[in-house]
């Protein structure tokens, strides 16, 4: 991509009142744009990052045997009445519910348990039809009392939600563990350090659930975790304080701020019973379906990454989700030979399958180009100029030193990382 083709341009000043890091940097870099409170456009750069996060999630979901599909966002009241959630106070608070022009009552998707149960009711009749593992990436609408923290808490956001249906509790928890491991792998690939934390189920279940919490100082959640073992609990269900002994291993409990980037819910047979969706076992008897749901918000993950990986100049993307691998900066482009060389490097990198953002602006000073490169946070900055002669000046975004490499040496470096 040539810089001049990129939409939109970067912005020098952050929007007034934008305090959270992800808000400032993502807006300044042209990754996202705010339409109204809690409602964001993913601009081309932001969409690229989210797409990479989505692809990593997709690969790991598929690896568990789950199948991708796509469900509607406009839901009839009736399907939500079957679970009893349409009129639940805490659901009504966050669900956009309204009448269409014919007076039909509909709601915008806050989650899809009801829709999946409806599907199971139509398509699952025997134990032979189970298990079912389906997921989709789609928009969730939640009318938060207060949208905030940039893209971290919107009223409309992207979510991957996976649903699994099983014949028994044992089968359910076997798969539940498998998904938990898949989630850990996803966050590891994305570069986000997370803790698996016990938490309450909110509007989904009365049982405890597991949250995936990224440890970030600016996070709005507070978790207590053990320094010696994997014990961790959300503040909302932890009766203790920092410095206490771990109930699991007697280690020391620490408190930390965090951002919830994923959540898995072992819902049990509640939805099956509430919505009267059963399967027939080997004896021909109706049995409730064991059900679970699993969510990750790719847009929130992008925001969390910025909260974790940045410095005073801008974003520092992990390589697995960066919008480009190389930010090629051409300086002294008024000199024909240098322009030819820069374009040549650009073309060769692209042919080699490297994603390159090429700053080909001729009327902009070096300082401005470097500032943009730092802001956008692409992992490798490669400079072609008078000074670089027959080499390329390569600098990693997260390091201070530069090195002068040949094209082949650069390519080798990119391939090995």
Partner RNA sequence: CGGGGAUUGGCGCAGUGGUAGCGCGCUCGCUUUGGGAGCGAGAGGUCGUGAGUUCAAAUCUCACAUCCCCGACCA
258 interacts with RNA by CB under 7 A: no
**8 A C-beta contact, residue 156 and residue 95:** no
What is the nearest approach in angstroms of RNA to the Cβ of residue 142?
Answer: 6
> Which C-beta is closer to RNA: that of 252 or that of 402?
402
Verify binding: residue 353, RNA, rule CB under 7 A.
Answer: no
Nearest-Å Rg of the Cα atoms of the chain is: 25
Max Cα distance, the chain (Å): 83
CA-CA distances (angstroms) from residue 407 to 68, 124, 225, 373, 393? 40, 57, 47, 20, 10
Q: Which is nearer to RNA, 79 or 364 (CB)?
A: 364
Per-residue burial over 126-140, b if 16 or more Cβ lie within 10 Å, else e, is ebeebbbbbbbbbeb
Of 72, 237, 362, 406, which one interacts with RNA (CB under 7 A)? 362
Instruction: Note whether 355 binds RNA by CB under 7 A.
Output: no
Kindly state whether residue 23 participates in binding RNA, applying the rule CB under 7 A. yes
Of 47-55, 77-85, 282-290, 327-335, the segment contacting RNA by CB under 7 A is 327-335
The encoded tokens of residue 172 equal 């359910």
Site for RNA in 69-108 (CB under 7 A): 90, 93-94
Burial 352-365 (b: 16+ CB within 10 A, else e): eebbbbbbbbeeee
Between CA 341 and CA 343, with CA 342 as vertex, the angle to 5 degrees is: 90
State the minimum distance, in angstroms, from the CB of residue 145 to RNA: 3
Min CB(273)–RNA separation in Å? 21
Minimum gap (Å) between residue 351 Cβ and RNA: 24
* Residue-level length of the chain: 417
The per-residue DSSP string of 165-222 comes to EESSHHHHHHHHHHHHHHHHHHHHHHT--EEEEEE--TTT-SS-EEEEEEE-TT-SEE
Q: Is residue 374 near RNA by the rule CB under 7 A?
A: yes
- Choose the binding region for RNA from 99-107, 123-131, 138-146, 268-276 (rule: CB under 7 A): 138-146
- For position 144 contacting RNA by CB under 7 A, the verdict is yes
Q: Does 221 bind RNA (CB under 7 A)?
A: yes
Q: Which of residues 375-394 bind RNA (CB under 7 A)?
A: 375, 383, 385-388, 393
Q: Is 312 in the site for RNA (CB under 7 A)?
A: no
260 binds RNA (CB under 7 A): yes
């Amino acid at each position: 991509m040539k810089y001049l083709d990129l939409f939109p341009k970067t912005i020098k000043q952050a929007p007034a009142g934008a305090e959270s890091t992800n808000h400032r940097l993502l807006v300044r870099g042209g990754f996202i744009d705010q339409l109204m409170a809690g409602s964001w456009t993913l601009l081309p750069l932001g969409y690229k990052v989210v797409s990479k996060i989505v692809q990593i999630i997709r690969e790991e979901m598929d690896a568990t045997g789950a199948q991708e599909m796509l469900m509607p966002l406009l839901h009839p009241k009736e399907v939500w009445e079957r679970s009893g959630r349409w009129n639940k106070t805490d659901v009504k608070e966050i669900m956009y519910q309204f009448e269409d022009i014919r007076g039909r009552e509909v709601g915008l998707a806050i989650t899809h348990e009801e829709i999946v149960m409806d599907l199971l009711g139509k398509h699952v009749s025997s134990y032979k039809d189970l298990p079912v593992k389906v997921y989709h990436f789609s928009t969730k609408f939640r009318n938060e009392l207060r949208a905030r923290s940039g893209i971290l808490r919107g009223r409309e956001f992207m979510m991957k939600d996976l649903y699994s249906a099983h014949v028994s509790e044992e089968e359910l928890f076997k798969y539940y563990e498998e998904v938990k491991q898949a989630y850990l792998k996803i966050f590891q690939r994305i570069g986000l350090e997370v803790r698996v934390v016990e938490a309450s189920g909110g509007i989904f279940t009365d049982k405890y659930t597991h949250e995936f919490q990224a440890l970030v100082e600016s996070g709005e959640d507070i978790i207590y975790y053990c320094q010696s073992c994997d014990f961790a609990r959300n503040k909302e269900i932890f009766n203790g304080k920092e410095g206490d002994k771990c109930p699991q291993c007697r280690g020391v409990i620490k408190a930390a701020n965090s951002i919830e980037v994923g959540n898995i819910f072992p819902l049990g047979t509640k939805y099956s019973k509430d919505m009267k969706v059963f399967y027939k076992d080997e004896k021909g008897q109706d049995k409730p379906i064991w059900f679970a749901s699993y969510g990750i918000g790719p847009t929130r993950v992008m925001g969390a990454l910025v909260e974790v990986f940045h410095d005073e100049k801008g974003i520092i993307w992990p390589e697995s989700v960066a919008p480009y691998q190389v930010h090629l900066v051409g300086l002294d482009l008024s000199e024909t030979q240098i322009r030819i060389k820069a374009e040549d490097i650009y073309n060769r990198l692209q042919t080699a399958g490297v994603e390159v953002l090429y700053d080909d602006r001729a009327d902009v000073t070096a300082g401005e180009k470097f500032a943009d490169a730092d802001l956008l946070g692409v992992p490798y900055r490669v400079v072609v100029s008078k000074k670089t002669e027959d080499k390329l000046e390569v600098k990693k975004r997260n390091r201070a030193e530069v090195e002068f490499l040949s094209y082949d040496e650069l390519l080798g470096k990119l391939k090995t990382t």
